[in-house]
Amino acid sequence: MSERKDITRRRVIKSGAAAAAAAGATPYFFTRAFADGHGYMNAPKGDTVTFGFNVPQTGAYADEGADELRAYEMAVEHINAGGGGMLDTFSSKALKGGVNGKTVKFVTGDTQTKSDAARASAKRMIENDGAIMITGGSSSGVAIAVQGLCQEAGVIFMSGLTHSNDTTGKDKRANGFRHFFNTEMTGAALGPVLNNNYGKDRKVYHLTADYTWGYSQEGSMIKYTQPYGWETVAAVKTPVGAGDFSQFITPVLSSGADTLVLNHYGKDMVNSLTQAVQFGLRDKQVNGKDFTIVVPLYSRLMAQGAGANVKGIFGSTNWHWSLQDEGSKAFVKAFGTKYGFPPSQAAHTTYCQALLYADACQRAGTFKPSEVGAALEGFKFDGLGNGPTEYRAEDHQCFKDVLVVKGKENPTSKFDVLEVVEVTPRAKVEYAPSLLGGELGPYNNG
């Protein structure tokens, strides 16, 4: 009798304790995340504030990701020191070492250039590491997915290299900000230059990366070359990270097209361009014209990867290290001293984003997303390598001059692969905010 009682008691106590622990833990964890009393997500405690750098460390855009991370690390150094690099040439002088009296720390994550993985790593940084802001990325699909997540979580997202119209177009969010340019601007800048160099009435074949940026880029190229009588023969979608593009390039030869537009980026562009050149496309004559290739979005990393194949090929870029303004020179010098080679446009835009965010927090006097956002909206600045620039309030998109570049015929070093053909002024590439649709919606402070 007594023995039986003993067992029951023990079991009651055991299961009771487990239930109590579970019940006790539940409300504690429900409320914990929002109980810090500052009224916004991840309000920094103590004397540090954490930035989250979410970049592709593996996959087709890994080169860009590595460069972005380098730039971020340097940006954090400069912000904490209150000087160095482009912080010295930046028109706003609010930052004087740290942000709002706090030292900046950072955590990193690998987006793998996949939406799921990128959101998972962003969530880890927000939920586990207490990141106040997420920035980075080298793909528009990922940028849009992470931007949506940051809006839901209530932190600011400063997008990295994302070129699709949708990021600040139909998928724009109040908590998201973009410094990089977009395909609309690329098209507006590149159209006239292509016409001047290659003449009217060409037949165009598009190879397009099969995701939001590819569609956006293809649409903009068609829109801005149509007025010159350029006609689309075919537009073929290719999977991201395909590696081998020969099956897509072979049909170009027999299509009657005389121009190939490669709406590819990263290693995809390196592979497709290299193969197109190897297939002898550029030596051909079609419709009585020299066959030409256009790469709408260029970066030095890609041009370097494709080597001699880029010679004479036109494209556009957000920034190039050979620019001679004070900001660019200071940035290239600081980056070169630290890492031994010039920065890419991905490094440039992410460095700018980190600086712009820190500066906005300092000017707002808080890290609260709605107030930081208000400080960024309509903010006009200079000295970050692109000349006078404005963060447009209506769509959180930066407006600035666009560079049209060409693969250099006689490179002097392995980094000197692109030359700037034309700087298209901001007025020529600006469009009405309503053109791309979408709605910002309200800020979310978490």
Using CB under 8 A, list all residues that contact other proteins. 15, 18-19, 21-22, 25-26, 29-30, 32-33, 57-58, 107-110, 114-116, 119-121, 123-124, 127-128, 141, 144-145, 148-149, 151-153, 170, 174, 210-212, 237, 239-240, 439, 441-442, 444
- Smallest gap from residue 6 Cβ to other proteins (A): 16
Question: Of 131, 129, 124, nearest to 51 (Cα)?
Answer: 131
The phi, psi pair for 220, rounded to 5°, reads -70, -40
Nearer to other proteins, 40 or 211 (CB): 211
- Smallest gap from residue 92 Cβ to other proteins (A): 30
- Smallest gap from residue 167 Cβ to other proteins (A): 11
- Smallest gap from residue 439 Cβ to other proteins (A): 7
Q: Estimate the crossing angle of helix 326-339 against helix 345-364, to 10 degrees.
A: 110
- Smallest gap from residue 269 Cβ to other proteins (A): 17
- DSSP assignment of 370-385, as one string? HHHHHHHTT-EE--SS
Nearer to other proteins, 121 or 328 (CB): 121
- Smallest gap from residue 268 Cβ to other proteins (A): 13
For residue 434, the tally of other CB atoms under 10 A from its CB is 9
Nearer to other proteins, 175 or 350 (CB): 175
- Smallest gap from residue 256 Cβ to other proteins (A): 25
CA distances to 144, 303, 435 from 106, in Å? 22, 30, 36
- Smallest gap from residue 128 Cβ to other proteins (A): 4
Start-to-end CA distance of the chain, whole Å, equals 58
Nearer to other proteins, 58 or 250 (CB): 58
- DSSP assignment of 295-360, as one string? EEE--HHHHHHHGGGGBT-EEEES--TT--SHHHHHHHHHHHHHHSS---HHHHHHHHHHHHHHHH
Q: Which sign, positive or negative, has the C-alpha torsion 99, 105, 110, 114?
A: negative
Nearer to other proteins, 119 or 426 (CB): 119
Residue with tokens 């370097």: 304
Instruction: Return the DSSP state at 128.
Output: I
> Rounded to 10 degrees, what is the CA torsion of 364, 369, 374, 375?
40
**Residues whose CB is less than 8 angstroms from the CB of residue 266 and which lie 6 or more positions away in sequence, other chains included:** 60, 61, 63, 64, 138, 302
Nearer to other proteins, 114 or 320 (CB): 114
Q: And the tokens for 114?
A: 């996949």
Nearer to other proteins, 231 or 439 (CB): 439
Nearer to other proteins, 147 or 316 (CB): 147
